[in-house]
Chain A
């Protein structure tokens, strides 16, 4: 629906299916993500969102499917690659739902580890580094510069020498994004980056993601439950339910898609939108839902 036609997508997912024994976590999923765009994957709990991420980043081998990533004119088939090669060669970086920093290393070291491959090459697989050759010193200086850039960007410069594990929660989330960015990715996958953030932090996160999209110019793939984040910053939203795609389009389209509303709120049991739920949703969505309630029910498709 959002096909831009003239542009080749950065990531092209086709027929992605992931089975765990009898459970089908993702079922024949297809979608695309472009650079300079924020693509959000939303869906109820257990819809298979994180599984999609795990397939993209090499933690799971998809049962079926082709995951094509295009970087500098080369096509990478992610489903055939080891996780570390996906990050190193294809340039896909990710964060985790439950933050995974290196807690007993400093904030700055976390960002330096992210530049491992660049530095490793410059250190001549440690030989040049051991001897302290200028080519390595230069590379290390550049790595520090990049780290400094992201420290500034996520507001952690004055805590750069802290142990990462000592940072408050919101700062850990930001650091994880900064660390992913230090790998110089072409696609950044964020697994619920706004989870547990307060309103202000969530706002700052939006700014950061927009900045990454517009100024760094890479593609961002986002799993998120916080609709305010999704609706405000996404260019393109994909909705999953029970491992299937039920909607795909710009935020406006998705927001008004009856299939989405059904998936989130059901049709039979809940006749009315409860106030507690309404409080958490953006007003437009509430309006859409309320109008939907007034309409006669359609036949249940599923």
Chain B
């Protein structure tokens, strides 16, 4: 029971991070119907920018943890979103209306490019970061096993939840959100009634990148190590989360993220940890085969 609870906490933490990345996939898919393959790399860049920001802050003497965290959060979101914007502008926008595999191939190219760009600039070796947020407390004890909840896990879950709620509010309350939803329904029509479609799509990428940056920051804190390759697996899993929840659906992305996080935590705890990635991919395949619309997605009616 205690062990189970501990895995639940770990899984939720991980799932919150996946959920943040999954939102980027699901929103982009909703609006332009493509898998933004480079999104995992955007998250990786977010992690690197956070990492560098921590080092810079440490070098100039900002050591009060809450302040450092807040600054890094803002800095990472800001700079990463410029990457998100640029990727869309360079690699996807010119391809709207091209043949259907073109944007996907372009996205794969972009992903490879960004990975190697970071590798060349920052080196291929794994980068360790000293723990920034330490401590926590035992919430339950029994059977020789204590359930531990770290402050970091609390931060991750709280920040994620707040951000998702904010994002939800933006999408349902603001004019950007309205434009975003209009473009999801029918881009041509939205354009005809005066929605600036290009800008809406750009903003979608910016928002997705900002959330991915937060995920990158959380991972940097959580694992304490990053390298240029982390975007690949995390991206795939977050995509799985988006599909599992129903691609195009925002609550679906969050739900999917949490589910994937839980599955991974429990698989690692109770089965073979080596195969935890196989479990994630296996789920992806199963979902796509048996319920391609995901848990919360709307069924697609084939237009003939």
Contact = CB atoms under 8 A, between A and B. Distances in A.
Interface string A94-122: 00100000000000000000000000000
Contact of B302 (A50, A59, A96): A59
Contacts of B302: 59
B60 interface: no
B304 A54 contact: yes
A256 B145 CA distance: 87
Contacts of A54: 304
A20 B304 contact: no
Q: DSSP class of A's interface residues: helix, strand, loop or mixed?
A: mixed
Nearest to A59: B304
Interface in A245-291: none
A50 B304 contact: yes
Contacts of A59: 302, 304
A20 B304 CA distance: 15
A57 to B, nearest CB: 8
Q: Is the interface of B mostly helix, strand, loop or mixed?
A: loop
A20 to B, nearest CB: 7
Interface string A53-64: 010000100000
A50 B303 CA distance: 11
Interface residues of A, number: 5
Nearest to B301: A20
Interface string B273-304: 00000000000000000000000000001101
A300 B301 CA distance: 35
Contacts of B304: 50, 54, 59, 96
A220 B119 CA distance: 64
Nearest to B302: A59
A96 B303 CA distance: 11
A30 B136 CA distance: 71
Interface in B161-190: none
A55 B301 CA distance: 13
A50 B302 CA distance: 13
Nearest to A20: B301
Contacts of A50: 304
Contacts of A20: 301
A96 B302 CA distance: 14
A135 B301 CA distance: 42
B98 to A, nearest CB: 13
B149 to A, nearest CB: 44
B147 to A, nearest CB: 46
Interface string A32-60: 00000000000000000010001000010
Nearest to B99: A104
Nearest to A104: B99
Interface in B207-226: none
A18 to B, nearest CB: 11
B292 to A, nearest CB: 17
B105 to A, nearest CB: 17
A96 B304 CA distance: 8
B54 to A, nearest CB: 51
A189 B304 CA distance: 14
Contacts of B301: 20
Interface in A43-93: 50, 54, 59
B276 to A, nearest CB: 38
A165 to B, nearest CB: 12
A26 B304 CA distance: 16
B227 to A, nearest CB: 42
Nearest to A96: B304
B101 to A, nearest CB: 13
A59 B304 CA distance: 8
Nearest to A191: B304
A54 B301 CA distance: 12
A96 B301 CA distance: 17
A177 B304 CA distance: 17
A112 to B, nearest CB: 22
Nearest to A51: B304
Interface in A1-41: 20
A20 B302 CA distance: 12
A20 B301 CA distance: 9
A140 to B, nearest CB: 29
Interface string B182-209: 0000000000000000000000000000
A134 B29 CA distance: 50
A199 B274 CA distance: 70
Contacts of A96: 304
A54 B302 CA distance: 10
Nearest to A57: B304
A236 B301 CA distance: 31
A59 B303 CA distance: 9
A93 to B, nearest CB: 14
Nearest to A54: B304
A59 B301 CA distance: 10
Nearest to A94: B304
A35 B281 CA distance: 52
B31 to A, nearest CB: 23
6 contacts: A20-B301, A50-B304, A54-B304, A59-B302, A59-B304, A96-B304
Interface of A: 20, 50, 54, 59, 96
Interface of B: 301-302, 304
Closest 6 CB pairs of A and B: A59-B304, A54-B304, A59-B302, A96-B304, A20-B301, A50-B304
